[in-house]
């Protein structure tokens, strides 16, 4: 069975070691190409020293996940025997969002300013992918009857399938952007992402082992990436990585029927995203700001917190969110 610990370990460590070994070469390559991050002029003075740090580090996620899945498929007959449609769907969501982020990062670098794809261009691409995935879920649901969302092992929430498909699309778009907004401090998004994907992979291992396999592969990539992304970061994931994380987490949660658990796991990402939504809404309607700066991690920077302190506190909040999700799903 794919859910066996040896297979999960193979997927995790194959990915981790791939990223660990590829990291220095990718960082050196980005330096040679001068693919460095352009720092927003509105950020704290401490961020100015990061100007030119290589970006597009999300490429390392792709390397790790690809190597891990190939090794698992080649070495473990059980993976090939169970069918790999869910893995293929996850890979498509992952790669297509990574392509959007890569294009955005590339244009920002070439223009020499933190301005890549226009917001509407990026949003249109996200809508197409998200609602294509939602259509796939709708097309593979029972022909009649409501869609059921699991709430713990013994309870379900029922809703019309069309409504569910619409919410799936909205959730994927939202979480893709929320993880993107969270990626503003060294190790912040990658550490929080590791907590979310670990929770999802553990949940999926019970009934959806193919989803779990992809999750362990992505978890290994995130651990390897943290070696180079921790403060002071040698490379940033960029939109190449951050847009792909939230969308892939969403796809995993939908395929594994763990929607509400996923929302609990992702509370810190959600808080970061909503802080921007609330800030913009408040300023446009009242002319006043709720936070000193958004996303939320920049508010704490303005209060004088150090970057390491903010990241650690947010990681702690992420761990608490993970446990809340575990409590919600009583099988843990």
In tens, the pLDDT along 99-120 reads 999 999 998 888 766 677 888 9
In tens, the pLDDT along 271-286 reads 999 999 999 999 999 9
In tens, the pLDDT along 314-326 reads 999 999 999 999 8
Q: Which residue has the higher pLDDT, 191 or 149?
A: 191
Q: Do 113 and 289 contact (CB within 8 A), yes or no?
A: no
Please tell me the predicted confidence (pLDDT) of residue 283: 94
**pLDDT averaged over every residue in the chain:** 88
Please tell me the predicted confidence (pLDDT) of residue 332: 45
- Residue 199: CB partners within 8 Å, gap ≥ 6? 261, 265, 322, 325, 326
Please tell me the predicted confidence (pLDDT) of residue 5: 66
Is pLDDT above 90 for 229?
A: yes
Please tell me the predicted confidence (pLDDT) of residue 149: 66
In tens, the pLDDT along 14-69 reads 999 999 999 999 999 998 887 766 666 555 555 556 777 888 999 999 999 999 99
pTM metric for this prediction: 0.91
């Amino acid at each position: 069975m794919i859910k066996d610990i040896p297979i999960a370990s193979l997927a995790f460590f194959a990915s981790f070691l791939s990223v660990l070994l590829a990291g220095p070469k990718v960082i050196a390559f980005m330096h040679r190409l001068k693919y460095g991050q352009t720092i927003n002029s509105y950020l704290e003075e401490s961020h100015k020293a990061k100007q030119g740090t290589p970006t597009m580090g999300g490429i390392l996620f792709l390397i790790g996940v690809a190597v891990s899945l190939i090794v698992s498929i080649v070495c473990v007959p059980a993976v090939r025997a169970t069918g790999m449609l869910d893995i293929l769907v996850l890979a498509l969501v992952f790669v297509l969002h990574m392509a959007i982020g890569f294009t955005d990062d590339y244009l920002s670098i070439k223009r020499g300013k933190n301005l890549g794809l226009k917001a509407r261009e990026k949003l249109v691409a996200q809508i197409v992918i998200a609602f294509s995935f939602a259509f796939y879920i709708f097309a593979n649901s029972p022909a009649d009857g409501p869609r059921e969302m699991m709430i713990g092992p013994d309870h379900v929430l029922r809703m019309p399938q069309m409504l569910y498909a619409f919410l799936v699309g909205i959730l994927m778009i939202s979480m893709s952007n929320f993880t993107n907004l969270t990626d503003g401090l060294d190790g912040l998004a990658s550490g929080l992402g590791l907590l979310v994907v670990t929770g999802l992979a553990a949940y999926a291992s019970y009934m959806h082992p193919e989803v779990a396999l992809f999750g362990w592969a992505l978890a290994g990539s995130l651990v390897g990436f943290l070696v180079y992304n921790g403060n002071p970061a040698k490379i940033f994931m960029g939109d190449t990585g951050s847009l792909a994380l939230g969308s892939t987490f969403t796809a995993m949660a939908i395929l594994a029927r763990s929607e509400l658990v996923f929302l609990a796991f992702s509370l810190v990402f959600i808080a970061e995203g909503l802080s921007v939504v609330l800030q913009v809404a408040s300023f446009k309607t009242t002319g006043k700001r709720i936070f000193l700066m958004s996303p939320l991690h920049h508010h704490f920077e303005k209060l004088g917190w150090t970057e390491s302190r903010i990241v650690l506190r947010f990681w702690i909040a992420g761990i608490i969110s993970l446990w809340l999700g575990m409590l919600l799903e009583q099988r843990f």
